[in-house]
Structure formats: C-alpha cells, structure tokens
C-alpha cells in the first residue's frame, strides 16, 4: 500500500505484521475468523493506525473494527478506503454484500458514524451458536457421506456445482478446503440421479475450532434433513479432534436458528451488526427494502420516507435489477404512504409498464410490499373505484 499523505492515519499491514493487531479485537472473541487471519490460516487484510491503537480487519466473514473507538483520524481515513479499496476487494471475490462486526459498547456509535458516513449501511442482528461436541456420535449413517476430495471429484452427483461454488466463496482454493476443511452431505436418488439434498460445510477451521454453513434444497426442506446433515458434520468434527464448532446466522433466520438448536448448539451471542451491498445503487435498493420492512428487534423502525427516497435514487438512474417490476411497486407504495400521490402514481405506472400484475403473485425475492392496505393502494393508483 502506498504511503502518500492521504494514507498517514491508516496503514495496511503485511501478513507478517498481523500480530500487531492481535489484542485489538476484544469483545469479538466468538468470531474465530479473527484469529484465523492473525495466525495466517485465513486470508484477510488489516489496516492499523500508526500508534497501533485502532484496527479494521477484512476476512471472508466480513469487516471487523477494534481497539480505540475515539481515534477519529483513523476512522475518517477508513471511510475513504472503504468505497475505494475494501468494498471493491469484497466484490472481486464474488460477494455482493458485506457485514460489519463491532463491539457492542455504546462508545462505538461515534466511530461507526464516521467510518460509514455516506455509505448508507443498515442495522440488523446476528447470532452465534456454539457446540462443545460432547455426546456427539462417531459414525455417519446413510445417506450421509463426508464431503472430501473423493466426493468432490465425482461427476455423477446432481448439485455438486453448488457445493463447489460455496467452497470457492469461503476458502482460498479447493485444495485448501480438501486439506483443512470438511463437511457432510445427504444424498438421495432422484429423477436426475444421485442428488445432494442437504450439505453442511466448514466455512473455516482455526486450530481445533471450526464454523459451519448449511444449505438444504428447497424441495427437501421441512423434512429434518438440515438437522441430520448438521449432526453428521458435528460427528466429522469430533473425529477430526475439534473441540468446538460454531454456527452463525441472521437473527431473523428462524429456520437456521431452529436447526442449530435442534442439532445441539447453544446460543453464545446475539449482537447488532451493520450491513450493506458493495455496489452503491444496489445498496440503495436494499435500503428501500430495509426501511420499508423495519427490524424492530434492533431498533430499526419502518421509515416510509427513507424507503421512498432510497428506491427513487436507484430507479431514477435506471437501476432496477433488469426490470424488476416489484421495485417500482414498492416505491409507489412508499410514496403513497408518505402522502406524495403524484410520485406514487409515477412509479406505479412504471411498475405496470414493466409487467406488474399483483402483490400476491410469486416474486423472485421476498421484499415486496404486501400489507393490509396493498389492495386499496393498487386500486387508488390504478384509477379504479
């Protein structure tokens, strides 16, 4: 990283220097990915203030802040580096979004407002679960199989490409996963042959600790497969000498929370985070969703005016996810709720022009305005009685 004057408050460390930041992430110890970066097990970047008192880490899990929260010059500089350096790096790895983890102390509010100024991050919650592997069995039962090098080399299994894609997004390489990681999959014969119906893979392994991610094909959900596959992954963890397994999910992901608890995990932490999308216009649309729906558990109340503004900023530039009519419907409803009927009709007309039919129709994403007044809004904006 260059050492020009605009870099004098935040210096990017070389991997051999990561130990300088080892003690700065107190309060975030339940994220084993932090230690993974510092020890060189996981890829990542660390930016450190010249006095060594504040740091920002980027790793496959997200962004982390630590150290002194009152180091305003450092966080000012990180505000400039985020859109120019860090977010493009995240996007280059194929990730559309990011999560920012921070200590829950109130003193961090000011630092975060400086660091994230004009980036329009959103507030939500995450949960971490932990399993000590006590009372975990030591054998897999069919149709569970280990996800290892032999499994990943097979070409007779439907759904294997999705597993390989998941590994590519979390691990430096497939070879790194085969050497250090592991996982479990459930197979079942289907019309297309042997099919992966559920899998649970290590996102990372640090020493004798690991964290899992899980997925179940939609047509096989609500049949207990996620719990069975997670239990199988725990068995493999025990056989490998792991002492702890972790699990993280969004607090709003009820299904993931239930799966973790059913597999024997225990809640370790429930904490607020900031999140956003790397592309600014994508981030505006997600802001529209966020403030349309709210997240009261973490102090985010519905804000129709802010949602309307966010949608309009992107849609007026033609950024609509390849003509997603539901975005225009949402914008129309948000403006209507704020009393701006003229703008509401403007966006409703665009929604109809792009094929909008009805809020009750299936849509490719769940963020569609479907409240009790949806019918009356549609009638009003459509000119019907």
* CATH number of the domain within which 238 lies: 3.40.630.30
Can you give the pLDDT at residue 225?
Answer: 93
Q: For residue 101, what is the domain's CATH number?
A: 3.40.630
Average the pLDDT over 204-216 and give the result. 95
pLDDT over 60 at 1, yes or no: no
Q: Look at residues 120, 154, 176 and tell me which one is the last residue of a structural domain.
A: 120
pLDDT digits over 82-91, tens only? 999 999 999 9
Q: Look at residues 255, 270, 285 and tell me which one is the last residue of a structural domain.
A: 270
Can you give the pLDDT at residue 364?
Answer: 81
Both 103 and 14 in one domain: the answer is: yes
Q: Which residue pairs, CB below 8 angstroms and at least 24 apart, start in 194-199?
A: 194/156, 194/157, 194/158, 195/157, 195/158, 195/159, 196/157, 196/158, 196/159, 196/160, 196/162, 196/163, 197/159, 197/225, 198/225, 198/226, 198/228, 198/229, 199/147, 199/163, 199/166, 199/229
Largest CA distance in the chain: 70
pLDDT over 90 at 5, yes or no: no
pLDDT over 80 at 346, yes or no: yes
Q: Whole-angstrom Cα distance, residue 53 to residue 51?
A: 6
Both 152 and 116 in one domain: the answer is: no
Mean pLDDT of the chain: 93
- In sequence order, what are the residues at sequence separation of 6 or more whose Cβ sits closer than 8 angstroms to the Cβ of residue 33? 42, 44, 59, 60, 61, 203, 204, 206, 211
Both 202 and 164 in one domain: the answer is: yes
Both 86 and 156 in one domain: the answer is: no
Q: Whole-angstrom Cα distance, residue 334 to residue 337?
A: 5
Can you give the pLDDT at residue 74?
Answer: 97
The residue among 335, 232, 352, 226 whose CA lies nearest residue 288 is 335
pLDDT band for position 187 (cuts 50, 70, 90) = very high
- In sequence order, what are the residues at sequence separation of 6 or more whose Cβ sits closer than 8 angstroms to the Cβ of residue 122? 274, 275, 276, 286, 287, 290, 300
Residue 250, in any domain of the structure: yes
Can you give the pLDDT at residue 114?
Answer: 98
pLDDT digits over 294-303, tens only? 988 888 999 9
Residue 162, in any domain of the structure: yes
Residue 139, in any domain of the structure: no
Q: The tokens 């490409």 sit on which residue?
A: 161
Can you give the pLDDT at residue 2?
Answer: 41
Can you give the pLDDT at residue 228?
Answer: 95
Q: The tokens 């530039």 sit on which residue?
A: 317
The residue among 126, 127, 128, 129 whose CA lies nearest residue 265 is 129
Residue 173, in any domain of the structure: yes
pLDDT digits over 218-273, tens only? 888 888 999 999 999 999 999 999 999 999 999 989 999 999 999 999 999 999 99
Q: Is 163 left (phi over 0), alpha (psi -120 to 50) or beta?
A: alpha
**Pairing of the two strands 62-67 and 97-101:** parallel
Can you give the pLDDT at residue 219?
Answer: 84
Q: What is the pTM of this model?
A: 0.91
Residue 108, in any domain of the structure: yes
First to last CA, the chain: 64
Q: Whole-angstrom Cα distance, residue 148 to residue 168?
A: 14
Residue 40, in any domain of the structure: yes
CA-based Rg of the chain, rounded to a whole angstrom? 23
Residue ranges making up the domain that contains 326: 303-382
Share of the chain above pLDDT 70, in %: 98
Residues forming beta bridges with residue 202, ordered by sequence position:
212
82, 274 contact by CB (below 8 A) = no
Q: Whole-angstrom Cα distance, residue 137 to residue 273?
A: 35
Which of 47 and 300 is assigned the larger pLDDT?
A: 47
Q: Look at residues 245, 270, 295 and tell me which one is the last residue of a structural domain.
A: 270
pLDDT digits over 63-83, tens only? 999 999 999 999 999 999 999
Could you give the number of structural domains in the chain? 3
Q: Which two tokens stand for residue 308?
A: 């309307």
Whole-angstrom CA distances from 346 to 287, 289, 304, 332, 343 are 20, 19, 17, 7, 5
pLDDT band for position 363 (cuts 50, 70, 90) = confident
Q: For residue 337, what is the domain's CATH number?
A: 1.25.40
pLDDT band for position 7 (cuts 50, 70, 90) = low
pLDDT over 50 at 3, yes or no: no
Can you give the pLDDT at residue 6?
Answer: 52
Q: Which two tokens stand for residue 215?
A: 């997925």
Share of the chain above pLDDT 90, in %: 82
């Amino acid at each position: 990283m260059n050492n020009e004057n605009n870099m004098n408050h935040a210096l990017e460390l070389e991997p051999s220097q990561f130990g300088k930041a080892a003690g700065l992430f107190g309060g975030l110890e339940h994220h084993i990915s932090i230690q993974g970066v510092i020890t060189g097990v996981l890829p990542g970047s660390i930016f450190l203030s010249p006095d060594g008192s504040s740091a920002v880490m980027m790793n496959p899990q997200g962004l982390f802040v630590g150290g002194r929260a009152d180091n305003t010059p450092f966080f000012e500089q990180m505000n400039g580096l985020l859109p120019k350096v860090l977010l493009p790096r995240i996007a280059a790895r194929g990730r559309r979004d990011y999560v920012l983890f921070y200590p829950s102390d109130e003193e961090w509010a000011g630092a975060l407002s400086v660091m994230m100024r004009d980036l329009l991050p959103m507030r939500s919650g995450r949960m971490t679960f932990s399993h000590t592997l006590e009372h975990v069995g030591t054998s897999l039962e069919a149709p569970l199989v280990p996800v290892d090098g032999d499994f990943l080399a097979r070409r007779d299994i439907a759904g294997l490409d999705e597993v390989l894609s998941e590994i590519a997004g979390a691990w430096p390489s497939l070879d790194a996963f085969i050497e250090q990681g592991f996982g479990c999959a459930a197979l079942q014969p289907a019309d297309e042959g042997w099919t992966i119906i559920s899998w649970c893979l290590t996102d990372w392994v640090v020493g004798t600790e690991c964290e899992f991610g899980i997925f179940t094909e939609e047509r096989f959900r609500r049949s207990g497969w996620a719990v069975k596959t997670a239990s199988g992954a725990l068995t493999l963890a025990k056989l490998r000498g792991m002492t702890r397994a972790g699990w993280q999910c969004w607090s709003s992901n009820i299904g993931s929370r239930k799966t973790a608890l059913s597999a024997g995990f225990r809640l370790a932490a429930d904490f607020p985070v900031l999140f956003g999308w790397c592309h600014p216009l994508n981030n505006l649309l997600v802001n529209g969703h966020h403030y349309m729906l709210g997240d009261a558990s973490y102090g985010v109340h519905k804000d129709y005016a802010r949602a309307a503004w966010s949608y309009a900023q992107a849609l007026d530039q033609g950024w609509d996810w390849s003509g997603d009519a539901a975005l225009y419907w949402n914008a129309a409803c948000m403006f209507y709720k704020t009393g701006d009927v003229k703008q509401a009709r403007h966006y409703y007309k665009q929604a109809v022009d792009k094929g909008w039919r009805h809020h009750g129709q299936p849509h490719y994403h769940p963020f569609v305005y479907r409240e009790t007044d949806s019918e009356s809004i549609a009638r009003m904006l459509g000119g019907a009685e």
